């Protein structure tokens, strides 16, 4: 099948599942339900859940049962975007083509919408429907992966170093730490969890893990590149904002040409780590290419 059809179809599958698992709500906390859905449904490529399903497919697993877990990762990612855009962090006004959460709802509600998405993700992953679908040992292993990738040893840790490094001098080792943690960790966890829950062997999970490490770093390098040469309307968020904030980025440290080369090299390495897989890993292979060729 055509890869753009595959992407479109998978995106629709995730959208429909998100609609089901993240409903609106009435009552006293109605604003919270509204703010949650505002950021979640503003757009977004749904790349992390798509990667999770592709990893499950690559080891021959069933993807239907995994949808709540895939949605949970998208919820955690969306929380990270809401908080990343806050005035105290990157102070950005646009996200997914719309004004950021704090611009619309105010800072307090934006912080709480992020808190809610993060916490509700764990409630969803441990909901009766999910508990019925997977052996509990495997499920706990998967949830542990996601928690570690999102927390101090992963995304939050990377975000802290990203903020602390603004305006300073950062070497390539520190830059890779930031990128691998703030962005790479959740992407790597997404594919690992897909493989774990689908019953992949330890060797398969290892190969997919290396794929995730390379694809995750490549993803953030391209995010940095698009901040320099991307289009505001296409991206749905501010451009040229990293330089303004003196962020530690690949283009700032190595230049655009070398950044592009490194991203392509990492995509190749991601694909090479799937050498022992057959055609069932083709979606993962194409996703690695997509990550470095995307324009938004």
- CB count in 10 Å sphere of residue 185: 26
Q: Which two tokens stand for residue 238?
A: 């501010």
- Please, what is the minimum distance in Å from the beta carbon of residue 48 to ligand IPE? 7
- Pick the piece of the chain touching ligand IPE (CB under 6 A) from 12-20, 63-71, 79-87, 145-153: 79-87
Q: Is residue 223 involved in binding Mg ion (CB under 5 A)?
A: yes
Out of 58, 72, 109, 183, the only residue in the binding site for ligand IPE (CB under 6 A) is: 183
The residue with its CB nearest to Mg ion is 90
Indicate the residue among 133 and 228 with the shorter CB distance to ligand IPE. Answer: 228
- β partners of residue 98: 95
- Please, what is the minimum distance in Å from the beta carbon of residue 199 to ligand IPE? 27
Please enumerate, as own/partner, the contacts of 83-91 that have beta carbons within 8 Å and a separation of 24 or more: 83/110, 83/111, 83/114, 83/159, 84/159, 85/110, 86/110, 86/111, 89/159, 89/163, 90/241, 90/245, 91/245
Q: Which two tokens stand for residue 6?
A: 């595959």
Under rule CB under 6 A, which residues in 21-60 are in contact with ligand IPE?
44-45, 47
> What separation, in Å, do the N-terminal and C-terminal C-alpha atoms of the chain show?
23
Beta-strand pair 98-99/94-95 = antiparallel
Find all residues with CB under 8 Å of 106, minimum gap 6, and list them.
none
* Residue among 218, 267, 236, 211 at smallest CA distance from 51: 211
d(CA 283, CA 59): 12
- β partners of residue 95: 98
Q: Is residue 84 involved in binding Mg ion (CB under 5 A)?
A: yes
- Pick the piece of the chain touching ligand IPE (CB under 6 A) from 15-23, 84-92, 169-177, 195-203: 84-92
- Please, what is the minimum distance in Å from the beta carbon of residue 132 to ligand IPE? 29
- Please, what is the minimum distance in Å from the beta carbon of residue 26 to ligand IPE? 28
Angle of helix 282-293 relative to helix 3-21, nearest 10 degrees?
A: 90
Q: Is residue 84 involved in binding ligand IPE (CB under 6 A)?
A: yes
Backbone angles phi, psi at 233, to 5 degrees: -65, -45
Q: Are 122 and 140 a contacting pair, CB within 8 Å?
A: no
Q: Are 78 and 70 a contacting pair, CB within 8 Å?
A: no
- Please, what is the minimum distance in Å from the beta carbon of residue 49 to ligand IPE? 10
Under rule CB under 6 A, which residues in 218-247 are in contact with ligand IPE?
220, 223, 227, 237
Out of 22, 67, 81, 197, the only residue in the binding site for ligand IPE (CB under 6 A) is: 81
Q: Where are the beta strands (DSSP E) in 60-203?
A: 94-95, 98-99
The footprint of Mg ion on this chain (CB under 5 A) covers a number of residues equal to: 4
Out of 57, 74, 90, 145, the only residue in the binding site for Mg ion (CB under 5 A) is: 90
Indicate the residue among 207 and 223 with the shorter CB distance to ligand IPE. Answer: 223
Out of 32, 70, 146, 155, the only residue in the binding site for ligand IPE (CB under 6 A) is: 155
Instruction: Name the site residues for Mg ion (rule: CB under 5 A).
Output: 84, 90, 223, 227
Residues engaged in binding ligand IPE (CB under 6 A): 44-45, 47, 77, 80-81, 84, 90, 92, 96, 155, 159, 182-183, 220, 223, 227, 237
């Amino acid at each position: 099948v055509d890869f753009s059809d595959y992407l479109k179809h998978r995106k629709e599958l995730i959208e429909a599942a998100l609609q089901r698992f993240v409903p609106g709500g009435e009552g006293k906390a109605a604003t919270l339900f509204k703010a949650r859905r505002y950021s979640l449904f503003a757009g977004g490529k749904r790349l992390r859940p798509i990667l999770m399903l592709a990893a499950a497919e690559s080891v021959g697993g069933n993807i239907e049962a995994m949808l709540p877990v895939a949605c949970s990762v998208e919820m955690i990612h969306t929380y990270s975007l809401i908080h990343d855009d806050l005035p105290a962090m990157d102070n950005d006004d646009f996200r997914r083509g719309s004004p950021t959460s704090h611009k619309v709802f105010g800072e307090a509600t934006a912080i709480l919408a992020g808190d809610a998405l993060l916490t509700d993700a764990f409630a969803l992953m441990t909901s009766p429907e999910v508990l019925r679908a997977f052996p509990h040992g495997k499920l706990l292993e998967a949830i542990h992966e996601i928690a570690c990738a999102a927390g101090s040893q992963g995304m939050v840790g990377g975000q802290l170093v990203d903020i602390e490094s603004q305006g300073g001098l950062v070497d390539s080792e520190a830059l890779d730490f930031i990128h691998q943690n703030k962005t790479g960790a959740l992407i790597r966890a997404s594919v690992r969890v897909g493989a774990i829950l689908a019953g992949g062997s330890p060797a398969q999970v290892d190969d997919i893990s290396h794929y995730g490490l390379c694809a995750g770093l490549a993803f953030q390098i391209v995010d940095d590149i698009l901040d320099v040469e991307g289009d505001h309307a296409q991206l749905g968020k501010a451009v040229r904002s990293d330089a303004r904030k003196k962020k530690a980025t690949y283009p700032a440290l190595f230049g655009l040409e070398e950044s592009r080369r490194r991203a392509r090299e990492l995509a190749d390495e991601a694909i090479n780590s799937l050498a022992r897989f057959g055609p069932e890993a083709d979606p993962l292979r194409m996703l690695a290419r997509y990550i470095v060729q995307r324009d938004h």
